[in-house]
């Protein structure tokens, strides 16, 4: 009934101060949740992009069955052979529409040395062509450009031009007392056990710098084209196969199909999503923390909004008891009175949140323009504090707070409607 909305709207002006304070509480709650959502959204997008592209996992990683747990112990048994790769590629052809490109990865533990100083590192082997493609992906540049150092983006062809080139972090360079910026003519040696357990060593050319983005990996990880890592490990096999899809949204679908296919064909491969805890505990841990924190704040804000509405509406209803009685006397049913009062709260919440939409959007824009840099826990360098205002999050918060508002007001008025009609009419708190 449109008159109910009109009536509800007029009632908002009955006690302007109370209406304003309730509206402020709802608006602040809405803005708070939106900003928190904007931060979590940005963090997730950045983590997704770095997991897929910077870390070269692809949207989907395929390993030999149980390789994630066993590769370090029995590497020869758990690598993907050339035959495995061919087998996977044949299967993948069925999903050609979704797949953008593929690559392989191989890691090894080794000792890096410049003749005077040696240092233990983990060598991540990658395909130079796909590395170049990955660092040029728009998702990475959009969400996590500041998680990649500029020289990485400037030297994308260096590994293609010279597959002997090794990339170090600045931290490893410091530990090894190398001149910084790195001189591209300096040869280093990598020594380690090959897959058969025999000692092996190769020469690599220092030529690039990278960051892992993570403090705990910054003094550990070096990057090297995969053929050099294979040379070090005396193998033509790889550790994992990465699939890069055209869109993130296809990931689960392709994973499901691949798993079904491998099961059906009795092929011994494990298929992981880029954020699977088995291969990317960092993503899971960070997002888990942010979701728990977000959930806690959602709970706090919903409780505060709910209590504000309950308090405000209870006060209003006490003052308007006789009015409720009058409405019932002229023929309003219990449900109609409940509807009238809940519409009042819903209208107030909607108006408050409309203001909140504008406010939260403006705050995001201002914060982003200020280009504030900060150190996220565990990060290797400062990154921009960016808040990505998102329609989906705003709509979800809107719906959530609407539900909270409706439920809170419904409970208050429903409780009041238990009072006998005659007691409502005879209430002395009338002000008309």
CB of 334 to other proteins, least distance (A): 6
Burial zone of 86 (CB within 10 Å; 0-12 exposed, 13-18 middle, 19+ buried): exposed
CB of 328 to other proteins, least distance (A): 7
Q: State which residue, 13 or 374, has the beta carbon closest to other proteins.
A: 13
CB of 335 to other proteins, least distance (A): 8
Nearest CA to 112 among 127, 99, 123? 123
Q: State which residue, 73 or 330, has the beta carbon closest to other proteins.
A: 330
Q: State which residue, 1 or 265, has the beta carbon closest to other proteins.
A: 1
CA distances from residue 34 to 28, 267, 358, 421, 422 in whole angstroms, order as listed: 10, 46, 11, 43, 46
Q: What is the sign, positive or negative, of the torsion defined by CA atoms of 160, 181, 125, 165?
A: positive
Q: State which residue, 372 or 421, has the beta carbon closest to other proteins.
A: 421
Chain residues in the site for other proteins (CB under 8 A): 1, 3-4, 7, 10-11, 13-14, 322-323, 325-336, 420-422, 425, 430-432
Tokens of 195: 């897959």
Nearest CA to 221 among 166, 147, 278? 166
Q: State which residue, 6 or 371, has the beta carbon closest to other proteins.
A: 6
Number of H helices, E strands in the chain: 17, 11
Q: Are strands 373-374 and 383-384 parallel, antiparallel or unpaired?
A: antiparallel
CB of 332 to other proteins, least distance (A): 6
Q: What is the sign, positive or negative, of the torsion defined by CA atoms of 280, 150, 225, 101?
A: positive
Nearest CA to 317 among 411, 187, 202? 411
CB atoms within 10 A of CB 386: 18
CB of 330 to other proteins, least distance (A): 4
DSSP E strands in 14-86: the ranges are: 60-64
CB of 424 to other proteins, least distance (A): 9
Residue 42 near residue 143 (C-beta atoms within 8 A)? yes
Q: State which residue, 395 or 421, has the beta carbon closest to other proteins.
A: 421
CB of 272 to other proteins, least distance (A): 59
Q: Is the backbone of residue 73 left (phi > 0), alpha (psi -120 to 50) or beta?
A: alpha
- What's the CA angle centered on 315, arms 309 and 319, to 5 degrees? 140
Q: Is the backbone of residue 209 left (phi > 0), alpha (psi -120 to 50) or beta?
A: beta
CB of 406 to other proteins, least distance (A): 21
Q: State which residue, 172 or 324, has the beta carbon closest to other proteins.
A: 324
Q: State which residue, 209 or 323, has the beta carbon closest to other proteins.
A: 323
């Amino acid at each position: 009934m449109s008159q109910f909305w009109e009536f509800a709207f007029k009632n908002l002006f009955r006690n302007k101060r109370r209406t304003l304070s309730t509206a402020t509480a709802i608006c602040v709650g809405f803005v708070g949740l939106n900003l928190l959502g904007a931060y979590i959204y940005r963090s997730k997008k950045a983590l997704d992009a770095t997991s897929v592209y910077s870390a070269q996992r692809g949207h989907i990683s395929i390993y030999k069955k149980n390789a994630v747990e066993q590769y370090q112990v029995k590497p020869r048994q758990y690598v993907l052979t050339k035959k495995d790769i061919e087998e996977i590629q044949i299967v993948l052809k069925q999903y050609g529409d979704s797949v953008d490109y593929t690559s392989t990865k191989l890691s090894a533990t080794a000792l890096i040395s410049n003749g005077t100083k040696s240092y233990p590192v983990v060598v991540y082997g990658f395909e130079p062509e796909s590395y170049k493609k990955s660092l040029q992906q728009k998702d990475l540049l959009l969400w996590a450009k500041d998680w990649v150092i500029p020289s990485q983006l400037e030297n994308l062809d260096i590994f293609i031009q010279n597959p002997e080139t090794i990339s170090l972090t600045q931290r490893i360079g410091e530990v090894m007392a190398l001149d910084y910026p790195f001189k591209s003519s300096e040869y280093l040696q990598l020594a380690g056990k090959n897959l058969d357990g025999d000692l092996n060593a190769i020469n690599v050319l220092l030529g690039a710098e990278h960051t892992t983005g993570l403090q705990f990996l910054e003094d550990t990880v070096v990057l090297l084209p995969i053929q050099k890592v294979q040379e070090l490990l005396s193998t033509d096999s790889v550790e994992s196969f990465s699939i890069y899809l055209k869109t993130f949204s296809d990931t689960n679908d392709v994973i499901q199909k691949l798993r079904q296919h491998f099961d059906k064909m009795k092929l011994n491969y494990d298929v992981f999503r880029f954020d699977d805890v088995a291969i990317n505990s960092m993503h899971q841990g960070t997002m888990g923390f942010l979701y728990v924190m977000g959930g806690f704040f959602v709970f706090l804000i919903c409780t505060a909004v709910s209590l504000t509405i309950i308090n405000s509406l209870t006060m209003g209803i006490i003052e308007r008891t006789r009015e409720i009685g009058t409405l019932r006397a002229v023929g309003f049913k219990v449900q109609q009175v409940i509807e009238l009062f809940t519409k009042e709260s819903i209208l107030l919440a909607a108006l408050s949140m409309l203001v909140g939409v504008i406010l939260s959007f403006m705050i995001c824009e201002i914060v982003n323009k200020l280009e504030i840099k900060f150190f996220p826990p565990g990060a290797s360098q400062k990154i921009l504090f960016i808040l990505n205002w998102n329609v989906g999050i705003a709509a979800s918060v809107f719906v959530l707070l609407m539900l909270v508002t409706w439920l809170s007001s419904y409970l208050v008025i429903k409780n009041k409607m238990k009072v006998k009609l005659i007691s409502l009419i005879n209430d002395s708190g009338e002000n008309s």
